[in-house]
């Protein structure tokens, strides 16, 4: 059944991509869609389509990246509550970006993306260190609480940094919501190498993550270097979430909800789970973006707001279970 679900997922992603290009605040004809996809901007409708194409591509890439990042984090930490947003990774990337903009005048460049990735990595290490304190080590609930507290603290620091900066304040607050509006192909090209590296590292780490799921002692007995496996896998997840946050802002709950749905379809084998999480994440983010354009037409809701409405109930459902089981 796995190949069947894979085919269904790809078809759904393709259909949602077509809907994303054809749907917006302005109705467009099929002739304008065809001309706009080819780059023509002679009419307003064609110009609108030209704007929607890179937006759709970025939504696909960001959704896939967040889905894979969440699945990797859940596998490495054996924590079903793990997610780049819940563990404070997105908040760390956002804080680093805002500090770079406000204090060092770093504009959108490769340095900008590296800054986001560094912030994401430091936040991940900090949250894991705090969650590991006390008896029982890094339990799922402790990691979730540490990540949530870290995210709240960093959000407060971000507000403090931009409070007196009217030149960047409005832009930062809009970016912090998380969205793919206004994305251009130049921005996509900027983060594409980081995303490709993150995807490659994560997919190549699938077998190691499967071994880690058996427990540290069993993994060591099977010849797996636990420290290296966790470090390399986490690097892939940090690259993905940091690169997405640098361009789109922090988008939450995609990495939480998508892996749980995919496990119901393909099981816990990460060699299948990671590709399916990429496809499902891409579909979810494109669908959320389209929904945000429809329900607030002629304006729009940012995709980060829609994913929060979708993911928050799933997070509550997982957290309220009698026992949060290790993966």
* pLDDT for 109: 67
* pLDDT for 67: 95
Rg (CA), the chain: 20
* pLDDT for 291: 92
SS3 letters for 291-309? HHHHHCCCCCCCHHHHHHH
Q: Which CATH architecture has domain 53-319?
A: Orthogonal Bundle (1.10)
Domain edges within the chain: 53-319
The burial class, CB within 10 Å (0-12 / 13-18 / 19+), for 207 is middle
Angle, alpha carbons 115-121-126 (nearest 5°): 125
Q: Which SS3 state, helix, strand or coil, does residue 27 take?
A: coil
* pLDDT for 173: 82
- Full pLDDT tens readout for the chain, 327 residues: 788 888 899 999 999 999 999 888 777 878 888 888 887 878 888 888 888 999 999 999 999 999 999 999 988 888 787 888 888 899 999 999 998 888 887 766 678 888 999 999 999 889 888 888 877 666 667 887 888 899 889 988 988 888 877 777 778 888 888 889 888 898 899 999 999 999 999 999 999 999 988 877 888 888 888 889 888 999 999 999 999 998 998 998 898 889 988 988 898 899 999 999 999 999 999 999 999 988 877 788 889 899 988 877 877 776 666 454 444
Buried b (16+ CB within 10 A) or exposed e, 83-116: bbbbbbbbbbbbbbbbbbbbeeebeeeeebbbbb
* pLDDT for 319: 65
The predicted model scores a pTM of 0.89
CA distances from 298 to 23, 25, 125, 145, 202 (A): 11, 5, 42, 38, 39
Whether 67 and 281 have beta carbons less than 8 Å apart is answered as yes
Whether 32 and 292 have beta carbons less than 8 Å apart is answered as no
CA distances from 137 to 74, 123, 182, 293 (A): 16, 18, 43, 44
Cβ neighbours around 135 below 10 Å, total: 5
Instruction: Please provide the DSSP assignment of 51-73 as one string.
Output: HHHHHHHHHHHHHHHHHHHHHHH
CA gap 157, 163 in Å, rounded: 10
Q: Which parts of the chain fold into alpha helices (H)?
A: 2-22, 30-37, 44-77, 89-104, 110-131, 140-162, 166-177, 185-204, 206-212, 216-221, 226-248, 254-266, 270-295, 303-319
Sign of CA dihedral 258, 176, 13, 7: negative
pLDDT tens for 191-215 read 999 999 999 999 999 999 999 888 7
Q: Which SS3 state, helix, strand or coil, does residue 189 take?
A: helix
Cβ neighbours around 138 below 10 Å, total: 18
Cβ neighbours around 1 below 10 Å, total: 8
């Amino acid at each position: 059944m796995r190949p069947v679900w894979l085919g269904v997922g790809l078809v759904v992603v393709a259909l949602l991509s077509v809907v994303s290009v054809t749907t917006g605040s302005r109705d467009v004809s099929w002739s304008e869609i065809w001309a706009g996809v080819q780059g023509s901007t002679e009419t307003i409708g064609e110009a609108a389509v030209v704007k929607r194409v890179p937006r759709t591509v970025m939504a696909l890439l960001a959704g896939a990246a967040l889905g894979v990042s969440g699945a990797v984090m859940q596998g490495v930490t054996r924590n079903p509550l793990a997610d780049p947003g819940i563990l404070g990774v997105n908040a760390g990337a956002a804080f680093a970006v805002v500090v770079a903009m406000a204090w060092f005048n770093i504009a959108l460049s490769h340095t900008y993306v590296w800054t986001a990735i560094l912030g994401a990595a430091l936040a991940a290490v900090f949250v894991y260190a705090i969650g590991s304190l006390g008896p029982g080590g890094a339990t799922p609930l402790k990691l979730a609480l540490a990540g949530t507290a870290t995210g709240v603290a960093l959000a407060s620091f971000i507000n403090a940094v931009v409070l007196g900066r009217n030149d960047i304040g409005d832009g930062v607050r809009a970016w912090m919501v998380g969205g793919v509006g206004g994305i251009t192909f130049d921005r996509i090209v900027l983060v594409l190498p980081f995303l490709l590296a993150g995807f490659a590292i994560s997919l190549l780490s699938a077998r190691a993550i499967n071994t880690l799921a058996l427990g540290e002692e069993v993994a060591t007995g099977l010849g797996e270097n636990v420290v290296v496996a966790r470090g390399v896998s986490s690097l892939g997840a940090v690259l993905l979430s940091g690169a997405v946050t640098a361009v789109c802002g922090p988008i939450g709950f995609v990495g939480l909800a998508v892996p749980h749905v995919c496990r119901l379809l393909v099981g816990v084998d990460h060699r299948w789970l990671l590709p399916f999480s990429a496809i499902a994440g891409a579909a979810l983010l494109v669908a959320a973006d389209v929904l945000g354009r429809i329900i607030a037409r002629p304006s729009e809701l940012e995709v980060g707001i829609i994913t929060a409405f979708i993911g928050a109930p799933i997070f509550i459902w997982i957290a309220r279970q009698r026992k949060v089981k290790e993966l």
